[in-house]
Structure 1
């Protein structure tokens, strides 16, 4: 690449799978890009701590909405011109803009490109209006970008078809597995933390969001119990003090399946391998996703993936997943039992996942593709 000074915007990334994507980028960028990088991140975040540990150049921004607003309008322009920035790259989330400076955005907001799906169906009144307004802002800023990087071909196609965004200003870069498996920063969590007593553990790496369909879990367990199976456990990366978590546990107690739900709280990217390795399967019951780290992590760690039977999931996973009707708890229970009781079926799903994952870029290759697209765009 020719010498280009890039401002990497990580401000929108605070939790969830975005942290892993950011960690991969921060780790791999110095290996494939020799020129100056300056990062923006939120103060006190895991991303900020990682940048500090790697000796990267970064600026911290206040986490509050007001703080971010003030930064965008009073500090951003000064930073861009003080550091002679050539291009801004927002790894994920709404882009940021300075007049005269190209801005490229990575987009994973799947619901923006599937307007026929009522993504916020569970919200009512002002709460739903609030989320619709946030979506409007995200879409507006995404389409304002000079170029967009997608990880899902359907979204890339719909961006042009629905919003007349120039197709040649977009690219598709598939996700990669995170760098943590062979990283010295990997942290193991003792199996005792999980109370492992050889149950069949279905892991959901997720936070609370209506899209994730977590509320069905007690009813899945009840369906399993009705079939005579009490040895399946759902392990969720949820805070047990969260109001929704308390409601989930109450429902589970009423159904007499509370012992089969384990809330372990949020986990850091470096802890993910240990959490997955202490599980038997990974569940993803979302209505809609751009992609999900859960998918490629299941393939990489050779765990069967149980996923919603939807257009987006079929397009991504092909025959490397167990598809379930996301609102049909009896069907989900049936497929879990099939995995649990039929080793040959489980192996077939796992083997196909390994095959498909081999076609995805390595962490280093993915970051290389990102920089190559930035350079190619600037050269046009």
Structure 2
């Protein structure tokens, strides 16, 4: 039996991938009857499991519920259900089952890229707390027998660094099954005199949305067509308020439209309604934004960094958001040249085909789980 641990999944790309995993895993007759899902009560994961009559259990939400699960509940669940493997789609294994065979998805690229000042956005006190949390996060991950990463670039660094004594797999990203299904019937209808660029993201300083105030001011200063930034940030959030202040201070408040967090079933509609997708994060493991842009044939604008270039190749326009003038010229030039946009879209389609050539993501997951089942059987 396999315990699929989805307790750490809440929203954003993690939720999209979690739902996509569940939609597809039950098409595999080899393991579908061996899966027990555990998730937080009241979320989209529970709703999906209930509506589709999946085998699942829930734990209470909040920190107390998570602590009880990590230190007590998971062990009882493993014992009661005769669990052989704990599969943590995101996050480390619960501490109470550290002696069980576990496989864990790892997306904390800042722990692998130690050279990147990932937490420098924060005051010293918070930065120290974040680094301490990362220390323990890595410590808990090391109880895993196998680690899953999203890019070859990260896997190579991990095998020679923090996970050099672990079995390390790569399962490459693909568009969410929910987005593909919803996007099939969507047509774009919008004003041709405004170009909307979508930053589909939660509120985190690493996303560097605050730097885009100067960029959008500069773009609109040099363009005859208005450019707008569409964001999906929670309104009552400190970082969201900071972003709004930056756009106001730079005279760019009319160029940003925050529509708030978007339910997974509405993401396809949102992607179809925009003209481009942007992600200028300081560091990512692999961004859902990339495959979403490629799947919806939207030009992709990303951070000019080695990790981004390794994943996106020629399928993105690279900018430095801290050099707003140069970045603005690159964006304007792209939208003035239809051939450049078509080139990016074509390269994005090629990237998707390249991902598909290594097999469906769900097939890679199942292959990893089945191999682990064989190891457990031999070991046990």
Q: Taking structure 2 as the reference length, what is the TM-score of the superposition?
A: 0.92
Deviation at residue 307 of structure 1 after TM alignment: 0.4
* Residue 14 of structure 1: how far off its partner (Å): 0.7
**Does the C-alpha gap of structure 1 residues 54 and 124 become closer, same or farther in structure 2, counting only changes over 3 Å?**
same
CA-to-aligned-CA distance 1:6-30 (integer Å, 9 cap, x gap): 1001111111100010011010010
Contact 1:186–1:271 at 8 Å: present in 2 too? Answer: no
**Unaligned ranges ≥5, structure 1:** none
Structure 2 partner of 1:242: 237
Is the counterpart of residue 77 in structure 1 residue 72 in structure 2? no
Q: How does 1:208-357 map to 2 (within 5 A)?
A: 208-229=203-224, 231-357=226-352
Contact 2:5 2:86 in 1 (8 A): yes
1:37 alignment partner in structure 2: 35
In the TM superposition, residue 266 of structure 1 has moved relative to its aligned partner by: 0.5
Q: Structure 2: where are the runs of 5+ without partners? A: 376-380
- Structure 1 residue runs of 4 or more that deviate by more than 6 Å after TM superposition: 184-191
Residues 198-238 of structure 1, C-alpha deviations (whole Å, 9 max, x = no match): 41111000111111110012111221233244510000011
Structure 1 residues 185, 337: CA separation in 2 closer, same or farther (over 3 Å shift)?
closer
Check the 8 A contact 2:210/2:247 in 1, yes or no.
no
Q: Distance in 1 between matches of 2:121 and 2:249?
A: 23
Aligned residues: 372
**Residues 182 and 148 of structure 1: CA distance in aligned 2, closer, same or farther (over 3 Å):** closer
Q: Normalised by the size of structure 1, how large is the TM-score?
A: 0.92
Q: Residues 289 and 184 (structure 1 numbering): CA distance in 2 closer, same or farther, change over 3 Å?
A: closer
Partner-residue secondary structure (3-state), 2:36: strand
Give the superposition deviation at 1:166.
3.0
Task: Rate the CA distance shift 1:186–1:348 in 2: closer, same or farther, 3 A.
Answer: closer
Deviation per CA, 1:136-186, whole angstroms, max 9, x where unpaired?
Answer: 12211222201111111122122221235335x111111111112453699
| Distance across 1 between alignment mates of 2:121 and 2:317 | 26
Alignment of 1:117-136 (within 5 A): 117-136=116-135
Change (3 A) 1:243 1:100: closer
* Offset of residue 364 of structure 1: 8.5
Q: Which position in structure 2 is the counterpart of 1:153?
A: 152
Q: Deviations over 1:65-119 (max 9, x none)?
A: 2221112222221111111111000001122252542011011110110111110
Distance across 1 between alignment mates of 2:183 and 2:19: 11
